[in-house]
Amino acid sequence: MDTDQQPPNPTPAIDAVPTQPSVPDPSASKEQELPNDQSEQQGSKRKRDSNDNRGGRGGGRRNKGKDLGRKAWSRQTSDKRARVEGDQAAKRQKTERGEGSLPIYATEFSKEDIEADQRRPKRKVAVLLGYSGSGYHGMQLSATEKTIEGDLFTAFVAAGAISKANATDPKKSSLVRCARTDKGVHAAGNVVSLKLIIEDPDIVKKINDNLSPQIRVWGIEVCNKSFSSYYLCDSRIYEYLIPTHCFLPPHPSTHLGRKLVESAEQENDLEGYKQRQAEVASYWDEVDEKYIKPILETLPEIVRKRVEKALCIKSDTEPENEASAHPSAQDQPSQTQEDKSSENPPEVQEQPSEENSSKEGDAQQMSTNAAIRTIREAYLKAKRAYRIPKERMDRINEALALYTGTRNFHNYTIQKSFRDPSAKRLIKSFKISRDPVIINGTEWLSLKVHGQSFMMHQIRKMVAMVAMMVRCGGDIQRIVETYGEQKIAIPKAPGLGLLLERPIFDSYNKRTVVDYGKNPIDFSKFETEMEEFKQREIYERIFREEEESNAFGNFFNHIDTFQENSFMYVTSGGIAASKPTKTGPAQMSDKAALEQIESEPEDEVVNNGEEGG
């Protein structure tokens, strides 16, 4: 049982959804009428109370909602937030597409078609859906980008669930999403609430007929008029799939691999470091002996020396200190995303010479680049053949458990300070959900996190932090230190592996059957279809995209070869080791460091940084 307290005075965002939310009652907005003299007396009392509590600048707002009932306050707050978000979205869309043009999801009808369209009753409903986020610019509507909601809205119009008069503006249908997912992130289950025309018994089939196979509507449940999928969601469950080779230590030849040992020696932590890496201590020596040396032995001597120097592989005849002095080819600055794949390694740059200008020199250069490519492919093959031991999995679970409870996750999102109350979030559980599975020769782990709400990039940064601490043999208590005031740069793991499993509406469901006679919002009745969809459209897509792009391998390789101190908190030196060594203009900011490591922008803020995984 979680013993941590909830954050005080939560902001009315998704993290502030109460554990036992009440369903707004339309009748609650009617104020009880009082005799005139009573009203005047109460008005005077409120004025005196306000004056007594006014303390300094802005103090008069302290009791602004004192006399509002709980339901009235909740409705007033929700309405204000919806208006603000709507206004911001409208301004942003006008700027993006230019005044007068329609957003890409809009369907424009002629005035005659709209007038001829028969008016039919609308009902407030919850639409249960699933989708693969590949190829989409996230869940939330965008005037210029392809999104899940954009395709969904277009399908509603095409199926007749939204009238022609409302076909250009989702706000007229009161569309609200339960959870916003980032670009490329998937969902087996998500919910949107809005007003739809659902008198057609085949409406779900007609909607699906107008959607790509990547998006499926599981069902539609009629709700009470005040239902909001955003505010009445109790919690969310996410799954993150990650290859087990992500928990292998950095290669000893990389910048980070060398720093881990150096720091452990300096901090008198060498024995502790070796103990934390005991189950993988000989891994890279065995790989070099089994996979790499046989390739090197087939190369001409001059090519072999070039390859050893470029990849920082210690030869049998080279002194150890000389080998370690060579800059690894993997230590070169980050390249563009197109060049990150292991199938396209960087060419070795040589100083101009007579030999290189000759045909023989060109041939040797080509042989060198081909050999480097072959060796990198051999390393990738070896990593994919890795099978994680139980000791490593136990350590991962220990690290994940440190996230549970109400914590200050300001380091796991963007543009939130330590003192921002909304940075505190409740994590109910986080653990490896099942035994590893082997897909196309690569072993994968499934991590599942159940939380009340999440901030932008939070889950991906949580996964990255655990992977970095475990693979680097760091003290996992460093995770607890990240809840403190010190700001550090935590990169976000690839969005490829993240999937929203389903939102939970337990509190609403307990009341809806009794109070409103409605069906509960429950995904269990669609379990069979959802599992088939997850395997076909989500899991297989994740496995296939990773095999083609090596996204996880590239992500951790960039961390291992990064030259600045930004991520040195994984070493025995702790957070203090991540302070920059350079000052002035030469100093690299945390934001710049993350931009070099990650394949997508860090600072694209949507929905005030809420619910993006």
3-state secondary structure of 479: helix
4 assigned to active site: no
The pair of three-digit structure tokens given for residue 595, joined into one six-digit string: 């931009």
H-run or E-run covering 511: helix 506-511
Please report where in the chains the tokens 């600072």 appear, as a residue: 603
Closest by Cα among 371, 351, 71 to 226: 71
Residue 430 forms beta bridges with which residues? 449
Contact 445, 436 (CB under 8 A): yes
Measured between its terminal Cα atoms, the distance across the chain in Å is 24
Q: CA-to-CA distance for 346 and 94, rounded, in angstroms? A: 43
Within 159-282, residue ranges assigned H as helices are 203-209, 255-266, 270-276
Q: Specify whether the CB–CB gap between 217 and 161 falls below 8 A.
A: no
Helix (H/G/I), strand (E/B), else coil: 105: coil
Q: Give SS3 for 124.
A: strand
Identify whether the C-beta of residue 542 lies closer than 8 Å to the C-beta of residue 493: no
* Pairwise CA distance, residues 143 & 158, whole Å: 18
Q: Which two tokens stand for residue 347?
A: 């060419």
* 557, containing H or E segment: helix 551-560
CA distance 409 to 427: 10
- Identified catalytic residue from 151, 182, 269, 288: 182
Give the long-range contacts of residues 48-52, CB within 8 A, separation 24 or more.
none
What's the residue count for the chain? 613
Nearest to 129 by CA among 216, 223, 207, 228: 216
- The interaxial angle of helices 551-560 and 540-549, nearest 10 deg, is 50
Q: How far is CA 280 from CA 286, 384, 501, in A?
A: 10, 15, 32
CB 400 within 8 A of CB 430: yes
Return the active site residues.
182
